[in-house]
A and B are shown apart, each in its own frame.
Chain A
């Protein structure tokens, strides 16, 4: 082995130009791999950190009949009233809370509405209704209330996002603040148009772009806006004064029958055939449930165990990991990884071809040497080992250079403390400052990939070398 390494090392030194060509390609390849993988790792970690801590938590529980487990439903689904609720909320909550490793649970409702301030300005608002105490136990720091406060249990109101408030103010040409009432209007094809007036309780901001556009509404109003209602037998008893105030106005005369017909259409769960009572929000109607796990608990295992329990009890819900719950954002991350992988693959293919050609040229020039070795008793395996070892030595030494350069570049970027600037980049890198993460595993995998590429590139040249007969040494 010592002689083999000696021959390989000296040959590489002897053929400096070819060694440098192959080495530079390998160094560049590893540089790209290290930097590219580190960027992907950073983005993955950033997204994971942001989403788990502020948006999706670890596990998402959604009704089984949902097409996608994303907690940011398609606007079309909401408008068409196609967003199903958890069939048996209390049973599901019981199962989830009893599951191993579960720390906290927060149910949520998603809704869309147009926002109006004193009939002056309008803005579109994405709404999320939560149970305040449960939400805060799952996401203690998901959002910052910059003015006012977060919703209290049972309180009606909206914690409006700074982004939405800005749009509303611009549209209304007025300064709007905590305590001001806003009008929320929603319409879907099943429950028709709903209008609610709520006071602004607080104004919040979030580092996560998706959450920064969401406003928190109390669950009661969100259910009414989303048509998550049921018929109750509670009769409203009007005082004489109220009756007098109503006068002889007939609601049929005022609005016609159609609109109210739609509004009061009963839910499927309603037990009455005719809408004889009042419409009331269903207190157990939630679109999904977000589950925070204890430190160190494995997401995949928890998802599996919950799904087993749900299936055993026939609860009609499914648990999914945060990544699936993140919806399109998660797709974006995997697309980014795919793009980097494709770039790496293209570089690898080009590198393998160049390395292969360079090695073939080198072997053709060394025909006499290899023929002589074969003549004096070198087996084919010796020649194969020699060629593969040459490539491996280049891959390791120049690959090391590529790794060092990659780490140096990442070090420079990190030392520069580059501010993220916009919300999307902030969400991707997981903070205010771009800090690229390097994982030892990723570097090791990159080096291994380069070694594999090197060995693959040396297979054909090695087969050329193996075909060299001692006769060619005699003839040369």
Chain B
């Protein structure tokens, strides 16, 4: 069963006295464990689709179904709980809680649930994640003491803390240099393979789209291509 399903989704935003149609009748499904790239130029609707999947926004028309739940029918509390249990977020501007250090930022989502894990269990898991993203030596540093790449690593560890089924990353490499960007995508891919977590990331950078095994290409709010690849360059639609 698809973990994410979009059915004829439309999203219209008011812009002054006019309206902007950001998404125009998009339908697709994402299977659990996939590593998906939503690609396309600026203004194509990538962020809107991620927001819709992340229950950060609701569709004007159509439905977004996450793990069998139609998001537009959920209350704010249910949506927040869904975000906490099922979804993880990685932001373009590496948003972290500035007053918490690396370790505390990764631990933070674990403390928000109704029944947080026991301290020992939490410590082991957070230590493991920080080790995995290569920040063991920076665990006591605050976000403003880290580079952009390091912050994004913290964000990845934080997004994985609650063992979500889906991690959404909105242009995670946009503010990074290309080599750091590639490292981040590789790290995400590694976590996808090791932990079986579904990763959905948006990008307009063709050079990193190739790592994805499922690419949804957007243009002007519509899907132009929806391709499952083996990750080889020959099947990359933007290289054809």
Contact = CB atoms under 8 A, between A and B. Distances in A.
Contacts of B109: 376-377
Contact of B83 (A380, A382, A470): A470
Contacts of A371: 95
Interface in A384-422: none
A369 B104 CA distance: 14
Contacts of A14: 98-99
Contacts of A456: none
Contacts of B158: 376
A382 to B, nearest CB: 7
B51 interface: yes
Contacts of B40: none
Contacts of B47: 474
B56 interface: yes
A369 B98 contact: yes
A374 B80 contact: yes
Contact of B81 (A373, A377, A476): A377
B16 to A, nearest CB: 18
B104 A3 contact: yes
A149 B111 CA distance: 83
A467 to B, nearest CB: 11
Given A473-B91, A474-B91, 17 more contacts: A6-B99, A6-B104, A7-B97, A7-B100, A10-B100, A14-B99, A369-B98, A373-B97, A373-B108, A375-B56, A376-B112, A378-B80, A378-B112, A379-B81, A470-B54, A474-B92, A476-B93
A469 B79 CA distance: 12
A377 B162 contact: yes
A470 B109 CA distance: 14
Contacts of B56: 375, 469-471, 474
Contacts of B92: 474
A24 interface: no
A375 B97 CA distance: 11
Nearest to B81: A377
10 contacts: A368-B93, A369-B98, A373-B97, A376-B112, A377-B80, A377-B83, A379-B81, A380-B77, A470-B83, A474-B95
Interface string A358-380: 00000000001101111111111
Interface centre among A369, A375, A378 (most CB of B within 10 A): A375
A382 B112 contact: yes
A377 B113 contact: yes
Interface string B100-123: 100010011101110000000000
A376 B98 contact: no
Interface residues of B, number: 34
Contacts of A474: 47, 51, 56, 89, 91-92, 95, 170
A11 interface: yes
Nearest to A13: B99
A475 to B, nearest CB: 8
Nearest to A373: B97
B113 A10 contact: no
Interface centre among B84, B85, B89, B100 (most CB of A within 10 A): B89
A369 B105 CA distance: 11
Given A376-B89, A377-B80, A377-B112, A473 B100 contact: no
A393 to B, nearest CB: 14
Interface centre among A380, A382, A474 (most CB of B within 10 A): A474
B96 interface: yes
Interface in B60-105: 76-77, 80-81, 83-85, 88-89, 91-93, 95-100, 104
A379 B80 contact: yes
Interface in A142-172: none
Contacts of B186: none
A261 B83 CA distance: 101
Contacts of B31: none
Nearest to A476: B93
Contacts of B89: 372, 375-376, 470, 474
Interface string A452-476: 0000000000000000011101101
Contacts of A476: 93, 95
B54 A376 contact: no
Nearest to B82: A377
Contacts of A11: 99
Nearest to B80: A379
A397 B51 CA distance: 41
Interface string A74-116: 0000000000000000000000000000000000000000000
